Chains A and B, each alone.
Chain A
Amino acid sequence: MRALLSGIAVAVALLGAISHAHGQKETERFIPIGQSPGVSQKQTSIGEIAEVDAAGRSVTVAEQAGRRTVKITDKTRIWLDRTRLKQANLTGSFTDLQKGRRVEVKYEDPARREVADWVKVEIARP
């Protein structure tokens, strides 16, 4: 009986561990660049887009620490931060990642900093 109960406990532990907790990303879209709590500057880079490789689906961002190339995947969320225009932030696409635009990139793996989880693109002019 004890073995059965231990088995249940272990199995429930495994069942419950299926989901990986992470922040609900949806309100993230409305948080201006650099203001995401616990994330901005810790798990993100902020800088200007220096290069765009449309074929390779990547962008190179020039940040204070240097240039970093980051992969954009189908799962990467791209948002247009229009806060400075006092307009609603929108969902964007790869074509919105244009040279010279200021962006904040959050990485899927903050240690490796290779693949973008989300990108906020600042739209400063109408």
Chain B
Amino acid sequence: MGRYNAALLKLRMAGALLAIASSLTACNAKPPDPQAALIAKGREIFFNETFNGNGRTCGTCHREERNFAIDAGFIATLPKNDALFVAEFIPELKQNFENPRLMREFGLILENLDGFDDLPNKFTMRGVPHVLALRTSIASPQGPRTGWSGDGAPGDGSLRSFALGAVIQHFTKTLNRVSGVDFRLPTDAELEALEAFQLSLGRQADLALPLPLRGTVAKRGQEIFLDNGLGKCNVCHGNAGANRAAGNNANFNTGVEDLPDQPARLTGEKVPRDDGFGRPGDGTFNTPPLVESADTGPFFHNNAIETIEGAVAFYNGQAFNNSPSGRFLASTDPNGVGIRLDATQVVAVAAFLRVINALENIRQSLELLTQSEALGFFEVARAKPPLMRAAHETRDATAVLAGAGLHPQAVALLEESSKLIERAEHSLFSRRGLTREAIEVQEKARALLVEAGK
């Protein structure tokens, strides 16, 4: 009985200590930030709200662990009953809603961008664009440009309205697409929260090139990228973003649809020509940002090319150089050349894109690690999600560099940092210390890619 009382006393004391600690944490808590609350609400909707539809959410295709995109490799890891595959298990969606083969082999999603009157014949097959750095990439003098062809949203065409079109296209229970029956439309408050969340993702500003890069090949790649007489990349992708030098986003016909041997078409499945912007389309597509490109492949609206090197090489080919954009570049060149790079130059530009992608991964990872590290001992539940996201970013940085044999020392440091983050995720008492260590190691890795302070 005496031992029982002593144990009870210890438990009560521990409880009292916990209560004091919790109240101290509560006293130190900052007042709620309305914008942060809106973003958090948007996140919740993005990943969990099905809008009474077929079970899909925005996060079904825009996977956070795949940089808010999706690819065939990841799709292969999903269970059969994942909502991505509704066309395989909801009878009403078996025809004319998706092409399961093209989805599984190439990560392609069916879209009825030219209308819903002839479903078997009128559709396009498109990859899932990431939604990072939207704050920098959708503004144009003619209005917002959303989606692959810049015309992805109904209503006023804004990012705010985009989710509504996505619900109608992708979340429906049947092809009747009746509001209130097959789905419910997002409310104004939900659209506002979704917009705030999407705008909060990734970079909030464009880079200012040139960066003082340390890697020999990436440095040369940056020179070629910025050389308007050689790589000419910066003409449309100013500062490796989505905007022209004038600072706004635009559509171009670059001839991607004219590529021979496009993987999806090689299957023999019906893949109508994608006419891009408008109805009927004018053949143009929206310029995406490049900073995030190396870890968000496959590339282009139709996932036609798997590697970043292949995507750069595309601009050497006939499809681009015979396109309106290629011909235009040739018309401005003293030698009448559109874009003509040799293999080493292609690899150098791709190396540059890989390095700036890795730098962005590290920037995001450091931000998340710092955020997690600042949370107190008793805030484990809040500290874990940013740690997990930092782990994804760190793995991406590692893969992007290692994929081309770039910066092996930095890769080793990033791998070390990944291990520290993993230990921090599972540690009760050393979480903050391990997180601090991971930050230090990542900062060292970063310093190998670019001169300090840049």
Query: Interface on A for B, CB 8 Å cutoff?
Result: 1, 4-5, 7-9, 11-13, 15-32, 35-40, 42-43, 82-83, 86-89, 91
Contact = CB atoms under 8 A, between A and B. Distances in A.
A43 to B, nearest CB: 8
A23 B179 contact: no
A30 B325 CA distance: 35
Contacts, number: 158
A76 B325 CA distance: 31
Interface stretch (B14-22, B84-92, B155-163): B155-163
10 nearest A-B pairs in the assembled complex, by CB-CB distance: A16-B250, A38-B156, A23-B157, A88-B176, A21-B143, A37-B155, A27-B165, A21-B142, A19-B251, A27-B168
Contacts of B252: 15-16
**Dominant secondary structure at the A interface:** loop
A30 B147 contact: no
A88 B112 CA distance: 16
Contact of A31 (B151, B154, B244): B154
**Dominant secondary structure at the B interface:** loop
Interface stretch (B180-188, B350-358, B382-390): B180-188
Given A18-B284, A19-B251, A31-B164, A24 B157 contact: yes
B111 to A, nearest CB: 9
B430 interface: no
Interface residues of B, number: 61
Instruction: From A19, A82, A88, name the one whose CB has the most chain B CB atoms within 10 angstroms.
Output: A19
Contacts of B251: 16, 18-19, 21
A23 B188 contact: no
A29 B158 CA distance: 17
B161 A86 contact: no
B154 A24 contact: yes
Given A12-B244, A31-B168, A87-B176, A26 B332 contact: no
B150 to A, nearest CB: 6
B228 A31 contact: no
A18 B253 CA distance: 11
A86 B174 CA distance: 12
B187 to A, nearest CB: 10
A41 to B, nearest CB: 12
Contact of A9 (B150, B245, B250): B245
B328 interface: yes
A13 B332 CA distance: 13
Contacts of B284: 18-19
Interface in B221-260: 228-229, 232, 235-236, 244-246, 250-252
Contacts of A17: 141-142, 250
A19 B116 contact: no
A123 to B, nearest CB: 12
B440 interface: no
Interface in B117-161: 117, 140-145, 147, 150-158, 160-161
Contacts of A27: 154, 164-165, 168-169
Given A9-B235, A25-B154, A87-B176, 9 more contacts: A12-B244, A16-B236, A21-B143, A22-B143, A23-B155, A25-B279, A35-B179, A38-B161, A39-B155
Contacts of A37: 154-156, 158, 160-161, 164, 188, 191
